[in-house]
Structure 1
Amino acid sequence: MEHELSHVREIEAAAEGRPPGRDRVVVESWLRCLNQHRLDPTARSEAFILPETALREHRQRSEALIAIARSGIESLYGLVAGQNYVLLLADRAGVTVEYLGDEAQKQELRRSGLYMGAEWSEARAGTCALGACIETGEPLVIHQSDHFDATHTGLSCTAAPIYDTLGRLSAVLDISLLSSPRAKASQSLALKLVTAAARRIEMANLMAENRREWVLRLSASPDFLDVDPEAALSLDGTGRVLGLTHGAARILAQAAGQDWRAAGGLIGRPVSDFLNVRVDRLDDLMRQRPAAERFIETRDGHRLFAHAIEPRRAPARTVPAPVSLPPPLRGLAGDDPTMAALLRAAAALAPQRLPILIEGETGTGKLTLARAIHAAGRGGPFTVVRCAEIGEEEALLFGRQTGRRQEEGLIAAAHRGTLVLDKIEDLPPRTQARLLRLVAEGSYLPVGGLRPVPVDVRILSTALPGGAEGLRPDLLHRLGGAWLRLPPLRARQDRLWLAERLLGSGDRPLSLAPEALAVLASHLWPGNLRELEHMAQTLRALVPGAEVGLADLPETIRAGTASGPGVPQAAGAVLAQVLRQTGGNVSEAARRLGVNRSTIHRQIRRMGVTR
């Protein structure tokens, strides 16, 4: 009893600003327990074990993490099991979702909370290793009377955080003792072991998530670089950071002069912001060279040794038998798989009467596709209604009837053909109501008319992405009998094929030099196909020779290049196009790109390019 009273007095002294001689992390946790969590140091709280149903939900949410971590935690437990340690893996909420302990101590472990389903959040259990680790994000030891609640002062707990690849704390790994007669310093080895195990779990998670991306592993020593690195990060084909381990987050944050706790701000940035490394020279950091020669420097001047792991090649896909497209649809795309699937769907829908809604950004070719579907289908008149031009002039669309005099509108003009409602998001609400009869019943009421007029018309509509969501739901459901979503040009793998096709047409065909291909491959094309067509017309008018070089491209194109997750890798697109130009001749492709043949073969394997 005297021991508990002394413990309470020590906590009260900390609250009054009188340092109790404890570690800073312990005192800060005590103050959070008092001021933030409103816990009473005189109250003894039994361990809280979640009901089975609630525990099942926590384990299901952590299923992927448990699968990745299982090998690491079993290895760690094998090292400490003979010393009466219990191993706990807790989720972000502090709930134990995996547990390894001595079955002979099962009842005592459950009473103390060192058991499956126990909640060790700071708000629930007071100062403890799991809860304090969640609050601080750092590895630590909470030993015996460091605990806030006197119920736990016999325990000695050591915990380390586990971060996901986006720099967010996702779990905590803890090894605890029911009792430890030794001083707190006796747990320093346990702290090193649990921290190393958490690091290896993060490494395994990063490798599992990035099998198709570059991974750069880092170490301060060349001797352990290839077997037990200290940090790792994943990169996309343009050198932007996709994910990282906690060790890498600390290295990059320090190089950039930032706080490692804001690791999310490191994602998506070029790796060259932090490390003196070039993406096109990652091959130099692979295992072909001795580890001692694979060193790089951080932007703040620290030397590290690096091991680059190239992306695994995706397994060969079974290529479906080519589907014969109607002639109007054949020339709308090259070898882009998204467009190929869309055109197959368009070909199947073309002979039907089903209304089709075509969605896509400005300039992606919505009206061009509508015209091709019409030509591949029933034929007849092709009538386009610019919805923004209707406004209050509904007679433009429905016609007008005054007495016996009748003026036909665009609907009547489309009889036995196709009516295209261009940008249906611009339709006024009143016009939407009048259109509903046409789509639902096949008839319409002229302005001023009393009797509906039957009409035989197939309706196609176009809309910007998300634009159709503002329509009346009953009208939208009828206009969208089928949806075709055109991808933006920046996401199409055939954009270089389209560029060369446009430039190669006409009486003076032009070809593209490799450096021009590279710029066009990485350009974002905000104007999509329309921007590409305008560029082709400009180049045909201005370029005097037969080949378009980098300097010939418009300044808006040269200045508007960028890369990101939504843009296919430019290097692979350029290589594929040059191989197409050379008929698959590797030697000629190497000559045009200014590299040797082995580089071309290596890039073909790495990027999965078809010769």
Structure 2
Amino acid sequence: METRHQHIDRVIETAQSPTAAARSPLAASWRRSIERHGLDPAAVRPVERVDDSALSQRREALDRFLRVAGPKIDQLFGLVGNSGCGVVLTDENGIVLDQRCAAADAAIFQDWGLWSGADWSEAAEGTNGIGTCLTEKRQVTIHRDEHFFLRNIGMSCMDAPIFGPDGTLLGALDVSSARADQTEGFNRLIAATVAQTARAIEADVFRAVFPKARIVTAENEDAALLAIDSHDLVIGATRGARRAFGLEPSGDLKPRPASDLFGREDEARGFEKAERAAVLRALARAEGNVSEAARALGIGRATLYRRMKRLGIGE
């Protein structure tokens, strides 16, 4: 491992290089830490923390997110906890909302500042797994002396962002370890598990937000889920689905027919297409009973027969 002065000098020299930031995401983060956030890699101040009242407010605002994520965090900790790793969940600002670690490691994680209420944003801690993941909105691993602050270079941090049902950033999922024998190869295995768990949390939160919708999963490794209502309109999409289908990147989703996304077009257009879909749904729910389907549509049996003929729907 680098000496104290070697690390500090390397961070400063790299951050000041006119070309390093363009070649390396790590160098770009070090540069942000110094130029944008005004941080000093040699600083020894403790990790900043929000007070209990502010933490409670943040947790309350994200109550559903935390309830849904809890079981997945437990599962992840069950996989990595025996190897000296801790699991951390933050909000979109890098504030730790929840964490898991072995009882024997609790004092160590508290000393590092990986505890509820701690601020691990890049603005507060410089380059680190949580903050850099949130800033760049992508999966990252910050291994030991890739950290900005000298006091953090004993840690390895594997992180993945978690996006909400509206495509906006919800928080970050982190696994951190200070084991001296933890290799970069082992980090890659953990990082893959972290990313998989983050996508599973996204999917569960999405389903919780659209409990009555039909959920369709696209063949995409990035949690691409669509919520489709009873009228076959797409009313929700995860970030992965928004990217896959070219939808609004975040915020409210403009409802559109599911067939428009899936490419299943027929000769019917406009109101005729909608009418045909309505008749087919009514017939399906009535198990083919035309009289019952007509009553459900609020029309007479003879009228329904005429519409079926016009729409090309056989008995």
Name the TM tier (shorter chain).
Answer: 0.7 to 0.9
Note the 1:259-274 alignment, pairs <5 A: 262-264=249-251, 267-271=254-258, 274=261
C-alpha separation between the residues in 2 aligned to 1:108 and 1:132?
22
Match status 1:174 vs 2:171: no
Say if 1:141 and 1:158, in contact at 8 Å, map to a contact too.
Answer: yes
How far residue 186 of structure 1 moved from its aligned partner, in angstroms, is: 2.6
Aligned AA (1:579) = L
Note the 1:120-519 alignment, pairs <5 A: 120-219=120-219, 230-237=223-230, 239-253=232-246, 262-264=249-251, 267-271=254-258, 274-277=261-264, 518=275
C-alpha separation between the residues in 2 aligned to 1:147 and 1:28?
12
Q: Name the counterpart of 2:298.
A: 580
Q: Are the structure 2 counterparts of residues 212 and 186 from structure 1 closer, same or farther at C-alpha, using a change threshold of 3 Å?
A: same
Q: Which residue of the other structure, out of 262, 281, 305, is the alignment partner of 1:591? A: 305
How far residue 184 of structure 1 moved from its aligned partner, in angstroms, is: 2.7
C-alpha separation between the residues in 1 aligned to 2:133 and 2:66?
19
How far residue 18 of structure 1 moved from its aligned partner, in angstroms, is: 6.3
C-alpha separation between the residues in 1 aligned to 2:148 and 2:87?
21
Q: Name the counterpart of 1:9.
A: 9
Q: Are the structure 2 counterparts of residues 54 and 239 from structure 1 closer, same or farther at C-alpha, using a change threshold of 3 Å?
A: same
Range with bigger deviation, 155-164 or 12-21: 12-21
Say if 2:21 and 2:28, in contact at 8 Å, map to a contact too.
Answer: no
Say if 1:10 and 1:20, in contact at 8 Å, map to a contact too.
Answer: no
How far residue 4 of structure 1 moved from its aligned partner, in angstroms, is: 1.9
Say if 1:141 and 1:156, in contact at 8 Å, map to a contact too.
Answer: yes
Q: Are the structure 2 counterparts of residues 185 and 13 from structure 1 closer, same or farther at C-alpha, using a change threshold of 3 Å?
A: farther
Q: Are the structure 2 counterparts of residues 230 and 74 from structure 1 closer, same or farther at C-alpha, using a change threshold of 3 Å?
A: same
How far residue 15 of structure 1 moved from its aligned partner, in angstroms, is: 2.2
How far residue 74 of structure 1 moved from its aligned partner, in angstroms, is: 1.0
TM-score when normalising by structure 1: 0.44
Aligned AA (1:174) = D
Say if 1:166 and 1:267, in contact at 8 Å, map to a contact too.
Answer: no
Say if 1:11 and 1:30, in contact at 8 Å, map to a contact too.
Answer: yes
State how many pairs are aligned. 293
How far residue 86 of structure 1 moved from its aligned partner, in angstroms, is: 0.4
C-alpha separation between the residues in 2 aligned to 1:158 and 1:151?
18
Question: What is the SS of the residue equivalent to 2:218?
Answer: strand
Q: Are the structure 2 counterparts of residues 145 and 233 from structure 1 closer, same or farther at C-alpha, using a change threshold of 3 Å?
A: same
How far residue 164 of structure 1 moved from its aligned partner, in angstroms, is: 0.8
C-alpha separation between the residues in 2 aligned to 1:204 and 1:15?
40
Q: Are the structure 2 counterparts of residues 134 and 85 from structure 1 closer, same or farther at C-alpha, using a change threshold of 3 Å?
A: same
C-alpha separation between the residues in 2 aligned to 1:19 and 1:269?
45
Question: What is the SS of the residue equivalent to 2:154?
Answer: coil
Higher relative contact order (CA 8 A, sep 6+): 2
Q: Name the counterpart of 1:48.
A: 48
Q: Name the counterpart of 2:59.
A: 59
Aligned AA (1:160) = A
Q: Are the structure 2 counterparts of residues 37 and 517 from structure 1 closer, same or farther at C-alpha, using a change threshold of 3 Å?
A: closer
Question: What is the SS of the residue equivalent to 1:118?
Answer: coil
How far residue 177 of structure 1 moved from its aligned partner, in angstroms, is: 0.5
Q: Name the counterpart of 1:86.
A: 86
Q: Are the structure 2 counterparts of residues 80 and 277 from structure 1 closer, same or farther at C-alpha, using a change threshold of 3 Å?
A: farther
Q: Name the counterpart of 1:36.
A: 36
How far residue 89 of structure 1 moved from its aligned partner, in angstroms, is: 0.7
Which digits, 9 at most, give the CA deviation of each residue in 1:156-197, with x for residues without a partner?
Answer: 111111111110011111111123433433311111101111
Say if 1:109 and 1:178, in contact at 8 Å, map to a contact too.
Answer: no
Aligned AA (1:246) = R
How far residue 70 of structure 1 moved from its aligned partner, in angstroms, is: 1.1
Q: Are the structure 2 counterparts of residues 79 and 193 from structure 1 closer, same or farther at C-alpha, using a change threshold of 3 Å?
A: same
How far residue 35 of structure 1 moved from its aligned partner, in angstroms, is: 1.4
Larger % of helix: which?
A: 2
C-alpha separation between the residues in 2 aligned to 1:517 and 1:120?
51
C-alpha separation between the residues in 2 aligned to 1:96 and 1:147?
18
Which digits, 9 at most, give the CA deviation of each residue in 1:215-272, with x for residues without a partner?
Answer: 2112259xxxxxxx9421113455543222232233123xx7xxx9x34486545555
Aligned AA (1:252) = F
Q: Which has the larger radius of gyration?
A: 1
Aligned AA (1:137) = K
Q: Are the structure 2 counterparts of residues 269 and 516 from structure 1 closer, same or farther at C-alpha, using a change threshold of 3 Å?
A: closer
Say if 2:20 and 2:28, in contact at 8 Å, map to a contact too.
Answer: no
Q: Name the counterpart of 2:281.
A: none
Say if 2:144 and 2:156, in contact at 8 Å, map to a contact too.
Answer: yes
Aligned AA (1:119) = D
Say if 1:162 and 1:198, in contact at 8 Å, map to a contact too.
Answer: yes
Question: What is the SS of the residue equivalent to 1:99?
Answer: strand
Question: What is the SS of the residue equivalent to 1:173?
Answer: strand
Q: Are the structure 2 counterparts of residues 581 and 171 from structure 1 closer, same or farther at C-alpha, using a change threshold of 3 Å?
A: same
TM-score when normalising by structure 2: 0.81
Question: What is the SS of the residue equivalent to 1:581?
Answer: coil
How far residue 44 of structure 1 moved from its aligned partner, in angstroms, is: 2.0
Question: What is the SS of the residue equivalent to 1:219?
Answer: coil
Which digits, 9 at most, give the CA deviation of each residue in 1:317-348, with x for residues without a partner?
Answer: xxxxxxxxxxxxxxxxxxxxxxxxxxxxxxxx
Say if 1:13 and 1:19, in contact at 8 Å, map to a contact too.
Answer: no
Q: Are the structure 2 counterparts of residues 589 and 37 from structure 1 closer, same or farther at C-alpha, using a change threshold of 3 Å?
A: farther
Which digits, 9 at most, give the CA deviation of each residue in 1:425-482, with x for residues without a partner?
Answer: xxxxxxxxxxxxxxxxxxxxxxxxxxxxxxxxxxxxxxxxxxxxxxxxxxxxxxxxxx
Question: What is the SS of the residue equivalent to 2:305?
Answer: helix
RMSD after superposition: 3.3
C-alpha separation between the residues in 2 aligned to 1:107 and 1:203?
33
Aligned AA (2:37) = H
Q: Name the counterpart of 1:314.
A: none
How far residue 593 of structure 1 moved from its aligned partner, in angstroms, is: 4.0
Question: What is the SS of the residue equivalent to 2:170?
Answer: strand
